[in-house]
Amino acid sequence: MSFINHITRQVAIKIVYYGPGLSGKTTNLRFIYFKLDPSSRGDLVCLETDTERTYFFDLLPIRAGLIGDYKVHFQLMTVPGQIFYEASRKNVIRGADGIVFVADSQIPLLDANLESFDNLRRNLLSFEVDINTVPLVFQYNKRDLEDLIPVETFNQLLNPRSLPYVEASAINGLGVFETLKEVARLTVPAVKEQVLGVADGEEEKAAAGNSAQEALREATQKEEEVEFVSPEEDADTQMRKMKLRTLDEVELELDRLSRQFLEKPKKTKPS
């Protein structure tokens, strides 16, 4: 569920990138982070615990447009893909306004994709949320490789409802912003109804979604190639790492970071 600050008239829309381990979820967020104008995004944050050193997800707030006279912020998060981080994924998925399912297109990983998607469905049900009611976009990643799962197979097994999907190569930036714009288009009208209490017609929904897409387009400033680095070499990427002891602390820190961004005064340029 989105965070709403009625005093400052700001709303934060929570978008979660879900999928099997190493499918490209964090790669998506890193590309978005580097390509956005710094004034349009917050810090990239990594949270980890002592017992789960490879467990982390990212929080990437992005300013994007208006809903009525409320300023909209997208907060992008990834879940740990490894199957044994069940509790961690449930903490992140709770209250999601929209979901991007990042599937790995390599043939040997078909079962991992299906297992991860079923895990998503079950985790949503644990919060009494039907996956059919959540804005959902599929990203079929790693299409630059060979021996790929056909898109038709993905749509048959994962996406029989013909929801939006994007073929991507996130490591090269292909399809990354197209995916983000699609989930924004689906999510903003639903949050607008929640904030303003008024359901839009189809034309108004399309206009609200297109407004969010345009705001994201304007926030993108860099056209040069993005160079990716390993976690050990990310000292210059402005990623903030936070060491926490328990999953409860992780959940509290997520909420705090989400609210903190909404309460920050917007920086003004010196005259």
Question: What is the distance between the alpha carbons of residues 179 and 80, in angstroms, rounded to a whole number?
Answer: 19
Mean pLDDT is highest, among 46-60, 64-78, 96-110, 249-263, for 96-110
- The token pair at 132 is 């059919």
pLDDT band at 222 (very low <50, low <70, confident <90, very high): very low
How confident is the model over 78-96, as pLDDT tens digits?
887 665 566 677 878 888 9
Q: Where do the DSSP E strands lie in 7-119? A: 10-18, 44-49, 58-67, 70-78, 98-104
Whether the CA torsion 139, 132, 163, 216 is positive or negative: it is negative
Burial class (CB in 10 A: 0-12, 13-18, 19+), 81: buried
Q: Which residues contact residue 175 at a Cβ distance below 8 angstroms, ignoring those fewer than 6 apart?
A: 139, 141, 143, 166, 167, 168, 169
Three-class secondary structure of residue 73 per DSSP:
strand
Which phi and psi angles does 51 have, rounded to 5°? -85, -15
Q: Which residues contact residue 128 at a Cβ distance below 8 angstroms, ignoring those fewer than 6 apart?
A: none
**For the chain, what's the residue count?**
271
Q: What pLDDT does residue 192 have?
A: 83
Q: Give the number of C-alpha atoms closer than 13 A to the C-alpha of residue 78, restricted to the C-beta side.
A: 26
- pTM for this predicted structure: 0.82
Q: What amino acid is encoded at 208 in this protein?
A: A
Q: Give the number of C-alpha atoms closer than 13 A to the C-alpha of residue 56, restricted to the C-beta side.
A: 19
Higher-confidence position of 241 and 165: 165
Pairing assessment for the beta strands 10-18 and 70-78 based on DSSP bridges: parallel
Q: What DSSP string runs through 43-59?
A: -EEEEEESS-TT---EE
Buried b vs exposed e over 226-264: b needs ≥16 C-beta within 10 Å? eebeeeeeeeeeebeeeeeeebeebbeebeebbeebbee
Asked whether the predicted pLDDT for residue 147 surpasses 90, the reply is yes
